[in-house]
A = this chain, B = another copy of it.
Amino acid sequence: MAKDTKKKEIKRIAVFTSGGDAPGMNAAVRAVVRTGAYNNLHVFGIKRGYEGMIDCDLVRLEVGDVGNIMHRGGTFLKTARSQRFMTPEGRRTAYEALKAYDIDGLIAIGGNGTFTGAMVFSQEYDIPIVGVPGTIDNDLYGSDFTIGFDTAVNTAIEAVDKIRDTADSHNRLFFVEVMGRNSGFIALNTAIGSGAASVMIPEKDATLEDLVDVLKMGARRKKLFSVVIVAEGNHFGGASEIAKQVKELFDFYDTKVTIIGHLQRGGSPTALDRVLASRLGFSAVEGLLEGQAGVMAGLVNSKIKFTPFEEAISKNRKPDNQLIRMAEILAI
Least Cβ distance of A52 to chain B in Å?
A: 11
Residue of B63, B155, B267, B271 near A157 (CB, 8 A) is: B271
Cβ of A6 < 8 Å from any Cβ of B? no
Cβ of A91 < 8 Å from any Cβ of B? no
Cβ of A70 < 8 Å from any Cβ of B? yes
Residue of B80, B261, B266, B323 near A279 (CB, 8 A) is: B323
Contact status A258-B266, CB under 8 Å: no
- List of B residues within 8 angstroms of A278 by Cβ: 192-193, 326, 330
* A14-41 with Cβ < 8 A to chain B: 21, 23, 30-31, 34-35, 37-38
* A73-117 with Cβ < 8 A to chain B: 73-75, 78-80
* A70 CA / B165 CA spacing, docked (Å): 13
Interface of A is mostly: helix
A74 with B329, Cβ < 8 A, contacts A154-B271, A155-B162, A258-B262 known: no
Cβ of A167 < 8 Å from any Cβ of B? yes
Contact status B70-A332, CB under 8 Å: no
Least Cβ distance of A156 to chain B in Å?
A: 8
For the complex, count residues of A whose C-beta is within 8 A of B: 77
A270 with B68, Cβ < 8 A, contacts A30-B330, A48-B169 known: no
* A31 CA / B326 CA spacing, docked (Å): 9
* A204-242 with Cβ < 8 A to chain B: 221-223
- List of B residues within 8 angstroms of A154 by Cβ: 270-271
Number of copies: 4
Least Cβ distance of A197 to chain B in Å?
A: 10
Residue of B170, B221, B274 near A63 (CB, 8 A) is: B221
Least Cβ distance of A272 to chain B in Å?
A: 6
* A305 CA / B223 CA spacing, docked (Å): 34
Contact status A30-B262, CB under 8 Å: no
Identity of the chain B residue whose Cβ is nearest the Cβ of A71 in the assembled complex? B161
Residue of B78, B163, B320 near A263 (CB, 8 A) is: B163
Cβ of A42 < 8 Å from any Cβ of B? no
* A223 CA / B65 CA spacing, docked (Å): 11
* A71 CA / B73 CA spacing, docked (Å): 12
* A71 CA / B156 CA spacing, docked (Å): 13
Contact status A67-B162, CB under 8 Å: no
* A302 CA / B48 CA spacing, docked (Å): 35
- List of B residues within 8 angstroms of A270 by Cβ: 154, 270
- List of B residues within 8 angstroms of A265 by Cβ: 162, 165-166
Contact status A330-B34, CB under 8 Å: yes
Least Cβ distance of A32 to chain B in Å?
A: 10
* A101 CA / B78 CA spacing, docked (Å): 35
Cβ of A246 < 8 Å from any Cβ of B? no
Identity of the chain B residue whose Cβ is nearest the Cβ of A34 in the assembled complex? B330
